[in-house]
């Protein structure tokens, strides 16, 4: 009887089709589970963060300093991503502080909870829903150590590190969009997996020794390739097949890749040679390093001894009883400056204030200038000492006061000269609390600091006196080592609590500079760049800020009474609770600015752009808002008593609770001289209040209501 021929190739092909289909289905579920896990983590942070942003925009919450944990986290994230960092601790609404802390802790907590579930059960909640399970080679949950390697190292650290290196050292830096794209590409590529002898597995599974299986199937054939023979033979239950397959897999792994100890046992001579070579290299490196260190120390001691001997000889020549000529003393002073030694710098700083010969004083200043920024610490100490001595002199001791003023002036001029000569090379120089300006008290020093067009980025001028200084076109910020602006390594000066009354900072670059509680009263800052600067509680009374760039600047609780903000840019600036009485802000751009609780009483905001600005609880009484653009502005509970709103565009504004007592809504006959305050897109007068809901506005009189109703406004009393 003829034996039937079985087409095995067709059978095998048909058997592979369900396996491929199941594999494809498992891959889809794995991706869906991963996406669900990421979505849960991201959502847990975005929801409280978004609510916190909304709470921070409200005016009915007290402001508190940002949580230090959030500040540290912000800076830790900003540095590797080359983001600009906010120096100083900014103030936020108190619910925002809590919500943003939750937004930081919630994703971390949820991530660790998912890792714990994965380690103990082999499935997170999304994986359990989608019937996906992670096991080790014994078919058990992987454990916490393997999960940390799988998720922390394999899935995230390796692909993101590769993406970061490609981004950081390419033309794309610091474009975060391209970094995000590269990161997603690397994560997806890692998840696709690398081919191996037991099928395609993701890198994170190979590193952790884990397998991602279909939890709905009793025995994954892809995990135990060696158990196919046992399945065909039959007679064994599922548990025995699992155990035998794993034993064979472990034996195969042992035979294929012997461990380090076995290699050492098999090659004892090679091991001995390697240990000996390593030991000899270590001994030689230690001997050479020790010898180099000894030579360096001996050289430093010899140099120090030579400098000390030269210093003593030069001091003898400069002593009053040396009999040296004026030229010899000048040569000795210049030679002492060339020593660049701490004791010589201190001696020159002391000699500068005690010497009376004008030619020698000039030589001393030249010597200290040669020393450069290294002389600043000694000059600063002497400056503080002289200021204290000057303040201790009584007002009647005129001669003594003039003598000490002269000494202080010499010190100030020397510092001024060093800062000018070493422009751009003085990062980190500390001049905090230094007296470099006029104090404004009777009999004070008449020295004027002049540092026009000088690079002062990175100089610490906290609490320094720079009154009446000329700093036109000077730069208090530089791009840093990477040469790119708005990255973490930007170098910025510290001007917090500094005195700059009547200083001239025209065209100066103060972007992102820390200037909290600075005093810029009556200073000139026309066309200065103050974008993103921090001016919390700053004094800017009667300051000239015409055409200045203050976009995104922080001016919380700042005082700008009587300041001139004409044509200045304050888009998205934060002026919470700022005092702006009698300010001139003609044509000023205040779009999207936070102006809650601000006081503008008597200010001139003609033609100002206040569209989408938050003016909740602001005091705009007796202000001139003729031709101002207030489209979609938040004007809840704003005080508009006696304000001039003629031709102001209020379309889309929220005026609930606004007080219109005595406010001028109807435009009067316009003076031709005031035509410049009009905006070209206002259209007809009827568009000023068209569609604006005045139902909850306060103190509207009959004349105002008549105008509102006839011009398309909304009110219950309109016919």
By residue count, the chain amounts to 719
83 assigned to some structural domain: yes
CB of 470 within 8 A of CB of 503? yes
Residue of 346, 335, 349, 347 lying closest to 306 (CA atoms)? 335
Residue 63 resides in a domain: yes
Q: What is the Cα–Cα distance from 534 to 541, expressed in whole angstroms?
A: 17
393 with 401: CB under 8 angstroms? Answer: yes
Distance between alpha carbon 317 and the CA centroid of its chain, in Å?
54
Inter-residue long-range contacts of 20-27, CB under 8 Å, 24+ positions, other chains counted: 22/214, 22/217, 23/222, 25/214, 26/132, 26/212, 26/213, 26/214
Cα(267)–Cα(254) distance, integer angstroms: 18
* CB neighbours of residue 701 within 10 Å: 12
For the chain, list residues with pLDDT below 70: 1-24, 59, 85-89, 193-200, 218-266, 395, 439-445, 667-687
> pLDDT at position 86, please?
61
- 554 by DSSP, 3-state: which? strand
Domain annotation covers residue 410: no
How many of the other CB atoms lie within 10 Å of CB of 134? 26
Q: The domain spanning residue 607 has which CATH number?
A: 2.160.20.80
Burial of 153 (0-12, 13-18, 19+ CB in 10 A): middle
Q: Which single residue is written with the structure tokens 């260190």? A: 293
- Structural domain that includes position 637: 580-719
Residues 6+ apart with CB under 8 A from 79: 85, 488
Domain's final residue, options 199, 226, 253: 226
Structure tokens at 291: 């010898």
For residue 39, tell me if it sits in a domain: yes
> Which SS3 state, helix, strand or coil, does residue 134 take?
strand
Here the tokens at position 672 are 């031709």
Q: CA angle 407-409-410, nearest 5°?
A: 65
Cα separations in angstroms, 203 against 223, 571, 598: 16, 48, 57
What is the pTM (predicted TM-score) of this model? 0.77
The CA distance from 121 to 132, in Å, is 11
- Note whether 662 and 682 are within 8 A (CB): no
By the 8 A CB rule, do 368 and 333 touch?
Answer: no
Distance CA 717, CA 712 (A): 13
DSSP 490-529: -EE-B-TT-B-TT-B-TT-B-TT-B-TT-B-TT-B-TT-B
Please identify, among 226, 248, 280, the residue that sits at the C-terminal boundary of a domain.
Answer: 226
In a domain? residue 258: no
Q: What is the dihedral of CA 673, 677, 680, 682, to 10 degrees?
A: -120
User: DSSP string of 610-672?
Assistant: -TT-B-TT-B-TT-B-TT-B-TT-B-TT-B-TT-B-TT-B-TT-B-TT-B-TT-B-S--PPPG
Asked whether residue 658 is assigned to any structural domain, the reply reads yes
The pLDDT score that the predictor gives to residue 367 is 93
CB 326 within 8 A of CB 357: yes
User: How many domains are contained in the chain?
Assistant: 2
**According to the model, what pLDDT value does residue 226 have?**
41
Distance of alpha carbon 13 from alpha carbon 11, whole angstroms: 5
Domain assignment present for 388: no
Predicted local confidence at residue 170, as pLDDT: 84
Closest CA to 473 of 544, 419, 527: 527
Domain assignment of residue 445, yes or no: no
* Separation in Å, CA 257 to CA 251, 253, 263: 10, 6, 10
Q: Which of 175, 193, 226 is the last residue of a domain?
A: 226
For residue 225, give both structure tokens.
């390739």
Q: Which of 547, 615, 551 minimizes the C-alpha distance to 587?
A: 547
% residues pLDDT > 70 (the chain): 84
């Amino acid at each position: 009887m003829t034996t039937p021929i079985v087409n095995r190739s067709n059978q095998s092909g048909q058997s592979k089709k369900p396996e491929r289909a199941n594999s494809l289905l498992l891959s889809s579920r794995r991706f869906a589970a991963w996406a669900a896990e990421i979505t849960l983590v991201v959502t847990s942070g975005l929801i409280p963060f978004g609510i916190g942003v909304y709470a921070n925009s409200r005016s009915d919450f007290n402001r508190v300093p940002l949580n230090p944990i959030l500040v540290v986290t912000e800076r830790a994230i900003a540095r590797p991503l080359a983001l600009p960092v906010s120096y100083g601790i900014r103030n936020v609404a108190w619910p925002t502080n809590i919500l943003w802390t939750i937004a930081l802790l919630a994703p971390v907590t949820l991530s660790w909870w998912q890792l714990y579930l994965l380690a103990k059960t082999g499935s997170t909640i999304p994986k359990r829903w989608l019937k996906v399970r992670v096991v080790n080679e014994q078919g058990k949950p992987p454990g916490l150590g393997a999960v940390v390697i799988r998720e922390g190292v394999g899935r995230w650290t390796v692909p993101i590190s590769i993406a970061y290196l490609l981004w950081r050292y390419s033309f794309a830096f610091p474009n975060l969009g391209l970094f995000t794209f590269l990161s997603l590409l690397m994560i997806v590529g890692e998840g696709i997996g690398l081919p191996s002898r037991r099928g395609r597995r993701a890198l994170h599974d190979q590193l952790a020794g884990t397998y991602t299986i279909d939890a709905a199937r009793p025995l994954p054939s892809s995990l135990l390739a060696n158990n196919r023979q046992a399945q065909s033979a039959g007679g064994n239950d599922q548990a025995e097949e699992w155990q035998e397959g794993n034993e064979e897999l472990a034996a195969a792994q042992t035979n294929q890749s012997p461990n380090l100890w076995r290699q050492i046992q098999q090659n004892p001579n090679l091991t001995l040679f390697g240990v000996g070579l390593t030991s000899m290299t270590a001994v030689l490196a230690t001997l050479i390093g020790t010898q180099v260190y000894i030579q360096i120390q001996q050289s430093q001691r010899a140099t120090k001894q030579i400098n000390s001997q030269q210093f003593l000889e030069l001091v003898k020549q400069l002593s009053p009883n040396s009999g040296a000529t004026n030229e010899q003393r000048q040569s000795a002073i210049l030679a002492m400056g060339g020593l660049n030694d701490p004791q010589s710098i201190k001696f020159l700083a002391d000699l500068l204030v005690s010497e009376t010969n004008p030619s020698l004083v000039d030589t001393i200043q030249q010597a200290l200038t040669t020393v450069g920024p290294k002389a600043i610490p000694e000059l600063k100490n002497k400056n503080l000492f002289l200021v204290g001595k000057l303040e201790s002199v009584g007002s009647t001791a005129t001669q003594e006061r003039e003598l000490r003023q002269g000494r202080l002036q010499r010190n100030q001029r020397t510092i001024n000269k060093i800062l000018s000569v070493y422009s751009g090379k003085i990062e980190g120089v500390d001049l905090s609390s230094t007296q470099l300006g006029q104090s404004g008290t009777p009999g004070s020093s008449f020295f004027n600091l002049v540092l026009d067009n000088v690079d002062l980025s990175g100089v610490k001028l906290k609490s320094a006196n720079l009154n009446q200084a000329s700093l036109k076109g000077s730069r208090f910020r530089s791009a840093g080592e990477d040469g790119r602006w708005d990255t973490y390594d930007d170098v910025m000066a510290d001007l917090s609590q500094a005195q700059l009354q009547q200083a001239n900072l025209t065209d100066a670059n103060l972007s992102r500079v820390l200037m909290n509680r600075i005093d810029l009263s009556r200073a000139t800052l026309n066309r200065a760049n103050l974008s993103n600067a921090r001016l919390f509680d700053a004094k800017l009374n009667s300051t000239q800020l015409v055409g200045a760039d203050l976009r995104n600047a922080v001016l919380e609780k700042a005082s700008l009474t009587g300041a001139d903000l004409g044509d200045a840019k304050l888009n998205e600036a934060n002026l919470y609770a700022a005092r702006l009485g009698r300010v001139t802000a003609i044509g000023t751009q205040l779009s999207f600015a936070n102006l809650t609780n601000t006081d503008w009483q008597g200010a001139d905001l003609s033609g100002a752009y206040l569209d989408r600005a938050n003016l909740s609880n602001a005091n705009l009484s007796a202000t001139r808002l003729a031709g101002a653009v207030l489209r979609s502005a938040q004007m809840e509970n704003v005080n508009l008593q006696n304000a001039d709103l003629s031709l102001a565009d209020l379309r889309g504004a929220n005026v609930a609770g606004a007080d219109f007592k005595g406010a001028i809504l109807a435009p009067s006959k316009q003076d031709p001289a005031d035509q410049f305050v009009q905006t070209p897109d206002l259209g007809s007068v009827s568009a000023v209040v068209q569609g604006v809901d005045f139902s909850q506005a306060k103190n509207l009189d009959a004349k105002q209501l008549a105008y509102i109703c006839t011009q398309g406004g909304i009110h219950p009393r309109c016919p």
